[in-house]
Amino acid sequence: MLNKKSVDDINVKGKRVLVRCDFNVPLKDGKITDENRLVAALPTIKKLIADGGKVILCSHLGKPKGEPKPELSLAPVAVRLSELLGQEVKFAADPEVVGPNAKAAVEAMKDGEVVLLENTRYRAEETKNGEAFSKDLASLCDVFVNDAFGTAHRAHCSNVGVTEYVDIAVVGYLMQKEIDFLGNAVENPVRPFVAILGGAKVADKLNVISNLLEKCDTLIIGGGMAYTFLKAQGKEIGKSLVDDSKIDYCNEMMAKAEKLGKKLLLPVDAVVSADFPNPIDAPIEVENVSVDNIPVDKEAMDIGKETAALYADAVKTAKTVVWNGPMGVFENPTLAAGTIAVAKALADTDATTIIGGGDSAAAVNQLGFGDKMSHISTGGGASLEFLEGKELPGVAAANDK
């Protein structure tokens, strides 16, 4: 069990509080096109304002690669945050992030005021966890709060380095929720525990498959990576996605499941087509075939009807379900049926349902099932590493209770 101090365990009145948020939002022509991440950060920010802290926010945005890029400035975030909070968020526009504007703004702060620093990745040291930038950030604050789970698997200045120079380092509400759901679901699940893994590549999920097999009761495999498993069983998979270098690994995992007495479910039928849709949402002719009859010249792009029913059935009796990765090319309406069926099964169950970030989070939200899930993780890579059982530097850096 991970037991970290959170914003509820500290008193910030009159103190300068640096909060690492995840404001890595999509921008188009300087306008924010999806503000989910801003909205998700509000509870922690509001709590610190209400407690009388001087709230200094920081985040990265995109990949400026260590130099100021005007199109990746956080200026539009300050504008939108001011509207969402109903009070001014002062933007400190320093290309070096901690510069004269930031220092002056922080110096002039009254309790309950908010300042936003420029994109932390304008500094080359940020992603290298360099000492100078960590010290610069620490010089602005008395307390550090990490609420950015999306970067928790990386050791950067603004989430790990800074904690070495600040006495009090805690997690915000978003991070706390990720630890409660993702961390504890895997380490201490209410059983039966069903894990569903999809997505394209086996290689991305090697350690996740192995770790979850030890923790769950049933492991369901869908998406492109299922066909490497089917090929490992000696089946003809046509033009379907395959990672030939991982065939032995798939055989090992099937043997591991059997040895541990775990159920490992693979597709029994698939939706196949002659060519991948181009563009991705273009109309496409498909047929539903048994996995024993995949035509040599066709590619499997979604789980079939029988498989969808089989997977939905496996979820019905579960008490905890973790899902990472879609069942097929969900961006195409014709190839989204498998992913929709799984999402619907999760929406209908009383189990604790946890969506492990990335494409599955996008799928669940796009398909309109988001509000039916217990928890949708905000991290892609970070949630995967959590599911692998790895210690995340951004979480580890916070003070223990």
Strands 218-221, 193-197: pairing is parallel
For the chain, where do the domains classified as CATH 3.40.50.1260 start and end?
A: 7-173, 181-387
Q: 61 labelled as ligand-binding?
A: yes
**pLDDT exceeds cutoff 70 at 146:** yes
Q: In 3-state terms, what secondary structure has residue 311?
A: helix
Rounded CA gap, 125 and 132, in Å? 8
Q: Which residues are catalytic?
A: 37, 201, 358, 381
**pLDDT exceeds cutoff 90 at 101:** yes
Class of domain 7-173: alpha beta
Amino acid at 86: G
Residues 324-350 have pLDDT tens digits of: 999 999 999 999 999 999 999 999 999
Q: 191 labelled as ligand-binding?
A: no
Compute how many other C-beta atoms are within 10 angstroms of the C-beta atom of residue 367.
16
Q: Which two tokens stand for residue 205?
A: 């999920």
Burial class (CB in 10 A: 0-12, 13-18, 19+), 207: middle
**pLDDT exceeds cutoff 90 at 206:** no
Across 23-173, where does the E strand assignment appear? 27-28, 31-32, 54-58, 89-92, 114-117, 143-146, 168-171
**pLDDT exceeds cutoff 90 at 182:** no
- Alpha carbon dihedral 188, 262, 244, 222, in 10-degree steps, equals -70
Which of 241, 234, 294 lies closest to 270, judged by CA? Answer: 294
Model confidence at 203, pLDDT cuts 50, 70, 90, reads confident
Q: Would you tell me which CATH number, out of the four given (3.40.50.1260, 3.30.420.40, 3.40.50.720, 3.20.20.80), belongs to the domain 181-387?
A: 3.40.50.1260
Produce one character per residue of 119-156: b if its CB has 16 or more CB atoms within 10 Å, e if not.
bbbbbebbbebbeebbebbbbbbbbbbbbbbbbbbbbb
Query: Residue for token digits 């991070």?
Result: 175
Residues 24-37 have pLDDT tens digits of: 999 998 899 989 89
DSSP letter for 351, please.
S
Residues contacting 231, CB < 8 A, separation 6+? 237, 242, 244, 247, 250
Residues 300-314 have pLDDT tens digits of: 999 999 999 999 999
Compute how many other C-beta atoms are within 10 angstroms of the C-beta atom of residue 218.
20
Model confidence at 202, pLDDT cuts 50, 70, 90, reads confident
Q: 229 labelled as ligand-binding?
A: no
Q: 63 labelled as ligand-binding?
A: yes
**pLDDT exceeds cutoff 80 at 400:** yes
Higher-confidence position of 28 and 268: 268
Percent of the chain with pLDDT over 70: 100
**pLDDT exceeds cutoff 70 at 162:** yes
Question: Which pLDDT does position 390 carry in this prediction?
Answer: 86
Strands 27-28, 31-32: pairing is antiparallel
**pLDDT exceeds cutoff 80 at 10:** yes
Rounded CA gap, 145 and 48, in Å? 10
**pLDDT exceeds cutoff 70 at 241:** yes
Question: Which pLDDT does position 358 carry in this prediction?
Answer: 76
Higher-confidence position of 387 and 159: 159
Q: What is the CA radius of gyration of the chain?
A: 23
CA dihedral (25, 368, 186, 350) positive or negative: positive
Question: Which pLDDT does position 1 carry in this prediction?
Answer: 59
What angle is formed at CA 320 by the lines to CA 214 and CA 224, rounded to 5 degrees? 65
Span of 1-5, 152-156, 207-211, 270-274 with lowest mean pLDDT: 1-5
Question: Which pLDDT does position 362 carry in this prediction?
Answer: 83
Q: 223 labelled as ligand-binding?
A: no
Span of 8-17, 43-52, 102-111, 372-381 with lowest mean pLDDT: 372-381
Q: 365 labelled as ligand-binding?
A: no
Residues 48-96 have pLDDT tens digits of: 999 999 999 999 999 999 999 999 999 999 999 999 999 999 999 999 9
Q: 14 labelled as ligand-binding?
A: no
Q: 62 labelled as ligand-binding?
A: yes
Model confidence at 389, pLDDT cuts 50, 70, 90, reads confident
Query: Residue for token digits 């709060």?
Result: 145
Rounded CA gap, 230 and 234, in Å? 7
Average confidence (pLDDT) over 171-193 = 91
Query: Residue for token digits 């993702």?
Result: 182
